[in-house]
Every structure is written in structure tokens, then in C-alpha cells.
Chain A
Amino acid sequence: MTDILAITDHRRGELRDVSYEIITAGRQLANETGGDLHLAVISGTVDEFAEKLNREGVDAIHTVDHGEEFNHDVYAQAITQLYDELAPQYVLAPNSVNGLDYAPAVATRLELPIVTDTIDLATDGETLIATREMYGGKVETTTELEGSAVATIRSAEWPQAEGTGDAAIEAFDAAIDEDAIGSTVNGFEEIGGGDVDISEADVLVSVGRGIEEEDNLPLIEELADALGATVSSSRPIVDNGWLPKNRQVGQSGKVVTPDVYIAIGISGAVQHVAGMKGSDTIVAINTDPNAPIMDIADYAIVDDLFDVVPALTEEFQ
């Protein structure tokens, strides 16, 4: 039997979108072999979460009522015990920051192979075929492995499950060994605030590592001024301290949905794209015709930003 155990994600009282996406991914694998889809929801208001997760295609939901927020030791213990009880073929987890904090430990504890950040999965019951990217999204690969495995799924790759299901919701009495908990979560901190809210802007001129040096940033600011636009950036610009953290677009930054997003010298790594793919019109200015940003851009100029940007600014002055 090819049963699937999928782990859901939540934070500060709310289920995260990937929790509904993982239902779709899990159901798809279970359908391919006629297995059952089990969900686990660990910590927090598990009963409330379980009701929301009871969507079409879910066979059982196992709630582990222990603690308010995510703790990787609690997750690792609960998941390994669920695995022993349910003997699923595959354990699916989100490739979220929390998924990255427990999934490898679960795989190691269960002596299973792990394949992370998958964007597609298929199985014939024996072999798992995982599609994933390498080299920052420049190529896609398929990877195969035999037998049981842990796989993490990239967010927003599978649609969210809908409808109402008739899953059996059961409390799972995990024996959590408190002595084995070596880390304590003390709280959360919001980063950002500051001068502007890039998520409110209609037009964003966004700058990436292609700009090379802080001294070149005025080039981008002049363009933004000429267009009446706001300046945002990819992560390296913020890491370098050239722009404040509230300007960062992406998974760990802000999600933006402007009418026009101009990506200048930005490759389009998945964590960046996560923050801007909802933009109405995406323009890429990049010397690399194969940069992943080209796959989601509506318009592109394959050229040196140091030539194109001043010419564009001049058009509007």
C-alpha cells in the first residue's frame, strides 16, 4: 500500500497556504497507487486547524496537541511516531523554513532518503520520481529513488485543495520526551516598517546583484524618480546593507503586486519570484537570456543594464 503522510504548516494561529497545497500533492501520489492520504497537524489549535484541513481527498487527519508554536523536536518526535504507526510509503513536508528545520532530521531518524524542494512528484508505487531545480533555477532535473522517502514540496507549485472532505479526525497521542527537547522558541519579531511600503506601490523599479556596486544605485534611483516609481530590490542588495530590509521583495521579504515590476539585474531565483510573481506586468532587464526571470517576464531586454537604464531614464526626463 502506498499511503502518504503529509505534514501541515501553521504560524501564529494560522494555517499557511502550503498546508492546502500539500493535500493536493499528497492526494495525487496516493491516487497513482490507490493509497490513503493522512495529514498531520502538530501544535497550536489543532482541532480548529483539522476542521479547516478537512478538504476533498483527505482520508485521515492526525492531531498532535502539544505546545502553541512550532518546535522542531516536537515535530520530529511526533512525525517519527506517526510513521511507525501508519507505515506510509512517503512523508511529505513543506519546503518552508520550518520544513527545512525538521524534515532532514525526520529522514535521518527514520533512515530514509530525503529529496527537497520538489516541484513535481510521481510514483508507480515503488519508485518516486521527483522534479527539482538546480543552479538557481537554470535547469530542471528528475531524480529517482526506490522505496520509502521523505520529500519536501516547494510552495505555490500545487493548487490548493478545495471542497469539504469526510476525513476521520483523530487525536494522536504522541509520547513527547521533554528531556529530548534541546531548543526553545521565545517569540517572534517583525522586521521592516520604515520609510515606504513597497507592497502599496503601483510601479516598482527593482534592482539586483547585476548593479555590482552601491555607487551605481543612483542610476536606479534616477529611473525611479523619472517614472514616479518606488525602488525595491532582491536580497543581496539588502544583505550588503545598500538598501533597508523593508525594500526586499521575496519569500523572506515582502510580497508585492504592482501594475508594473521592472526587474533590473535580478536572476529570478525562486525565493525572489515568490514575492513578485503576482505583478501585473513584469519587465526583465538582464544580460543573461537564460535567467529564470525570463520564464515569468512579459517583456524582456537582453542587454547591459548600464546601457539600458540611462537610456530609459532619458526617455522620461
Chain B
Amino acid sequence: MRILVPVKEVATVEDEFEIDGTEIAEQYLGADLNEWDDYAIEEAVQLREDGVADEVVTVTIGPEECEQTIRQALAKGADRAVRIWDDALEGVDLLDVGAKTEILSAVVEEEDPDLVLTGVQAGDDSFGATGVSVAENLSYQWGAVVNHLEHDFEGGIASVHRELEGGVEELTDIELPAVLTIQTGINEPRYASLRGIRQAQQKPLDVQNLAELGIDEGAIESELELTDMYEPESESDVTTWEGSSDETAGQLAEMLRDKGVAQ
């Protein structure tokens, strides 16, 4: 069984930042492996270690810079990686769900996996929709917000728990091939070992552009346009205490005593 894990390098923002038009000014941005994808990688690697899967392949849409993040996934145990990039993607400020679906679907078709494990959402634009959209596009079955997966796949079925609101889980059987969007907490993602990091350098990373995937540039044109970005307005009139830690702790203690706490 082959597992495909779409991996995203997400943008992170520093505590203090400035907005430049419809973007956060570049000097305040960092990059990291998407938190939810880390759990998806771990689940896939565990399936291979359990002897259920033969191969774990990652796919990333992104420029050359994000190869450090791809190597992180390889260091954690993925076997090889595919990276998709194209000049046509260079200036797009919001790659929408439709565009991502087109690109990832082409890779799924090429790789023909039995299971696709994605993160529930990306920590930066948090659409939370691409996994299910890819499944529908390719007539794969799917399950969103999965926080438990049985590893036996008896009769070609993935038995999962979907984490609903309010501490309730849904127990669902899903036919393979399927796309599962993975929720944090499903496992404990490993840190990459030194050996893993060394090995990752040797693992294959295949780069493809849209033409090689047989995708027309028009097909990835974003239907959504980002028109404004601003800092949200505060809903409360927050009183911010100033001073040394002892002083602010003292002020908080006074407020708490006024409220009758610890008395």
C-alpha cells in the first residue's frame, strides 16, 4: 500500500508585525512545517513501520526555499518527495482550494496511492477544505477531522474516529482508496533523529511544473481575490497592567482578591 501525504510549508508571523497591502511585510514572516501535516506524516510513517504500507510519499506545492521543510518530512521517515512549482504560481497571493485541488489531484493520479493523509487545515490560510475537495474530484472516499485510525484495514476499510465538537467522536468506516484529514492528537509526532536528517539528504525529491503534470495554467487561476488585510478590532476593553513582573503580579493578585478568589 502506498500513502501520499501532502505537506505544506506554512508562513508564521512574529509577535510584532506590519501589514503591507494585502500581505504581512516579509521581514516579519517565518516558515514552518504545518502542525497538522506533522501528525499526518507520523501516522503514515507508523503505518509503514507496522508493515501496512510499503511507501510514504510527500507532495508539496511550493518554491525551492521550502525544500528545508520537505527534508524535515523525509527525515521523519517519508521515503521520497514530490515538489510542484511553476512560474505561473509565483505571483499568486492566495492559492485557493480549487487551484490546490487541481494540482494535488494530478499528483494523486500519477502516484495512485491507496491512502492520502492530509492535515485538517493549514495554520496560515486555514481553509480546511483541500483534502475533501481532492477526494471528491478523484472519486476517492474521504473522512474529515480524523483523530484515530485503525491500522488493520480489514476488507479494504479504514475504521476511523472523527472528532466532533464537545468531546464526542464519530466512529466511521470508510472504503479505500480514501483521503483522511488528520487532526492533532492522533499520535505523537517524532523529532527527526540525526540519522534521519542525514538520510533525508539522500532521499529522492522530484520537482515538477504544471506542464509536466499536464495542468493548464488557466486551471489554477484563483477564483478568490484577497482584497484587504488588517488587524482585528478588540472586542473588549482590555486593562493591560504595566511594570515589573512583581508589580503586574501584584495588580493581578489584588484584582483576584477583590473577586474573592483564594479567600
Contact = CB atoms under 8 A, between A and B. Distances in A.
Interface of A: 11, 16, 70, 72, 76, 95-98, 100-105, 107-109, 113-117, 129, 133-146, 182-192, 203, 226-229, 235-236, 238-241, 245-246, 251-255, 259-260, 281-284, 287-292, 294-304, 307-308, 311-312, 314-316
Nearest to B239: A299
B227 A104 contact: no
Nearest to A246: B167
Nearest to B13: A135
B17 A299 contact: no
A133 B126 contact: yes
B166 A299 contact: no
A187 B160 CA distance: 11
Contacts of A134: 124-126, 229
A305 B131 CA distance: 37
Contacts of B246: 311
Contact of A251 (B126, B127, B165): B165
A97 B144 contact: yes
A96 B165 CA distance: 8
B132 A100 contact: yes
B141 A183 contact: yes
A290 B16 contact: yes
A176 to B, nearest CB: 16
Given A297-B236, A311-B246, A117 B165 contact: no
B164 A139 contact: no
Contacts of A189: 161, 168-169, 171
Interface residues of B, number: 85
A182 B163 CA distance: 19
Contacts of A254: 166-167
B226 A141 contact: yes
B232 A137 contact: yes
Given A183-B142, A295-B236, 18 more contacts: A97-B163, A104-B131, A105-B133, A113-B97, A116-B128, A116-B129, A117-B127, A184-B172, A185-B170, A186-B173, A187-B170, A189-B171, A190-B169, A240-B188, A252-B167, A281-B255, A299-B238, A300-B238
Contacts of A314: 249
Contacts of B143: 101, 183
27 contacts: A72-B144, A97-B162, A97-B165, A100-B181, A101-B143, A107-B97, A108-B133, A109-B136, A116-B129, A138-B17, A143-B225, A182-B141, A182-B178, A183-B175, A185-B171, A187-B170, A187-B171, A227-B261, A228-B262, A229-B261, A260-B256, A260-B259, A281-B259, A295-B235, A299-B239, A303-B248, A316-B262
Interface string B108-151: 00000000000010011111111111011100011111000000
B19 interface: yes
B129 A308 contact: no
Nearest to A305: B245
A143 B227 contact: yes
Nearest to A101: B144
Contacts of B185: 235, 238-239
Contacts of A260: 256, 259, 261
B224 interface: yes
Nearest to A189: B169
B55 interface: no
Contacts of A300: 238-241
Contacts of B245: 303-304, 307-308, 311
B223 interface: yes
Contact of A97 (B15, B164, B225, B241): B164
Report the 8 A-B pairs with minimum CB-CB distance, sorted nearest first.
A311-B249, A182-B141, A307-B245, A104-B129, A315-B253, A113-B223, A101-B144, A104-B132
Nearest to A9: B165
B93 to A, nearest CB: 10
A56 B136 CA distance: 35
Nearest to B129: A104
A196 B128 CA distance: 33
A296 B164 CA distance: 25
B230 A104 contact: no
Interface in B52-110: 94, 96-98, 101
Nearest to B247: A311
B234 interface: yes
A100 B124 contact: no
A229 B39 CA distance: 33
A295 B234 CA distance: 4
Nearest to A183: B174
**A139, A146, A251, A291 — most chain B CB neighbours (10 Å):** A139
B38 to A, nearest CB: 11
Given A229-B261, A297-B238, A100 B128 contact: yes
Contacts of A184: 172-173
Nearest to B145: A97
Nearest to B143: A183
B253 A104 contact: no
Contacts of B233: 295
A245 B163 CA distance: 12
A101 B164 CA distance: 11
A234 B220 CA distance: 37
Contacts of A95: 128
